């Protein structure tokens, strides 16, 4: 029966680890905005020149006029 004490301690430790991770996530602002990052990751480039992918953009622009 003593093993249950050990098991409970282990489970509690793991739970506390998750709690700490959650708190860290809240503190670091990960829940402030749950939408924008999901979009941002799909943008092609965040470079400063913005010229390299211009060609492909024109194609997309045309496509989006007559969808």
In the complex, which residues of this chain contact another protein (CB under 8 A)?
Answer: 1, 4-5, 8, 12, 15-16, 19, 22-23, 26-27, 31-36, 39-40, 43-44, 46, 48, 50-51, 53-54, 57-58, 60-61, 63-65, 67
CB of 58 to another protein, least distance (A): 7
Provide the token pair at 61: 């622009």
CB of 48 to another protein, least distance (A): 6
The DSSP string of 21-56 is: HHHHHHHTTTTT-SSHHHHHTT-S---SS--TTHHH
Provide the token pair at 33: 């905005």
């Amino acid at each position: 029966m003593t093993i249950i004490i050990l098991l409970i301690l282990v489970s509690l430790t793991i739970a506390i680890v998750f709690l700490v991770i959650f708190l860290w996530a809240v503190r670091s602002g990960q829940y402030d905005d749950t939408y924008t990052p999901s979009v941002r990751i799909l943008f092609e480039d965040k470079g400063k020149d913005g010229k390299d992918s211009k060609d492909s953009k024109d194609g997309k622009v045309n496509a989006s006029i007559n969808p």
